[in-house]
């Protein structure tokens, strides 16, 4: 996945590690935002999959980052932005 300049800058500003970015790509649950983007978040199912594949300790140590989200363009697959949720997202 390629990132826009905006996404790289926001990821750095918000302190989101590259590993969390990769896990969002691999394990993230997809929500469509209705504006041509796909939002990737960590669901309960994805958190369990990460724990199954990587063990309990990495998940415990990186728990504070599991509120991260990533918006990806549905047209070309570029990452638009990365952030952290402080409220739950509306699901369809």
Q: What is the tens place of the pLDDT at every residue in 1-24?
A: 678 888 888 888 888 999 999 999
Residue 89 lies in a domain: no
Query: How confident is the model over 55-75, as pLDDT tens digits?
Result: 999 999 999 999 999 999 888
The whole-number average pLDDT for the span 82-89 is: 81
Nearest CA-CA partner of 82 in 37, 34, 52? 37
Confidence tier at 86 by pLDDT (50, 70, 90): confident
Q: Does 19 fall in a domain?
A: yes
**Domain count within the chain:** 1
Under 8 Å between Cβ of 35 and 7: no
Q: Which domain holds residue 9?
A: 5-84
Assigned domain for 90 exists: no
| Cα–Cα distance, 22 to 86 (Å, whole number) | 21
pLDDT value of position 2: 79
Provide the pLDDT for residue 19.
Answer: 92
In the β-sheet with 29-32, what is the strand arrangement from edge to edge?
29-32, 37-41, 68-73, 79-84
């Amino acid at each position: 996945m390629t990132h826009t300049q905006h996404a790289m800058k926001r990821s750095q500003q918000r302190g989101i590690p590259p590993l969390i970015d990769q896990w969002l790509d691999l394990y993230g649950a997809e929500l469509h935002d209705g504006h041509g983007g796909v939002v990737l978040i960590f669901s309960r199912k994805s958190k369990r999959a990460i724990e199954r594949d990587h063990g309990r300790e990495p998940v415990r140590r990186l728990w504070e980052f599991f509120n991260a989200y990533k918006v990806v363009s549905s047209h070309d697959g570029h990452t638009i932005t990365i952030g952290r949720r402080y409220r739950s997202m509306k699901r369809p």
